[in-house]
Amino acid sequence: MTIWNKCKLALAAATLTLPTACAPPATEEVASYADDRAEIEDLMARYLFAIDFHDWDAYVETFAEDGTIEFASGAFTGREEIREAVTRFAEGIGNFYQTEDGQPARLRHVILQSTVRVEGERAWATSLWVEMANDGPGDSLKMGTFGVYEDQLSKIDGQWLLSYRNVLNDFIPDRHPGPENPVRGMDAAADAYRASMIE
């Protein structure tokens, strides 16, 4: 029997002898964070599906009315300005990703991991993203670029929306994350906000 199996058996036996009252109850704060994080992760997924399938109505609806996105082309504020910027981005994809017959390749974005901080009606998230397309040999999958999303979110009328998204790309000069762990910057911003609310 491996040491891990022995540990599992010991833990199970110990759990059986503990009174139910000793089990720590799920606190309201933990439950609230779980709900908020689930909604934020759903928002991030909707953002990616919208951009990859060119659903610009759904895309801009992931942002607050006065939200901002910043990427290599600049910073764009408000849903109409964001729509124009992302439409131009999508139209230019064919310059970078092409199938063997010269057509624009299909692009797919994926978030690999995210860390999320929630403080009341505000939240911060840092996520690692990758971009891939069918522009490899025989229109096969080829990994493209990757980078980090630095997000600020607001809960507006009970709905989480992006108030600011900074798209960092490891392949673009002056647009790559680091060298410091970007999660530290996120935590510092969340901590500062929390302190300001206590004062």
Domain ranges of the chain: 28-198
Tell me what the pLDDT averaged over the chain comes to.
86
pLDDT at residue 27 in the model? 66
Answer whether residue 71 shows pLDDT above 70: yes
Question: What tens digit of pLDDT does each residue of 108-119 get?
Answer: 999 999 999 999
CATH tag, 28-198 = 3.10.450.50
How many CB atoms are closer than 10 A to CB 195? 10
93 confidence band (pLDDT: 50, 70, 90):
confident
Buried b / exposed e along 70-87 (16+ C-beta atoms within 10 A) = bbeeeebbebeebbebbe
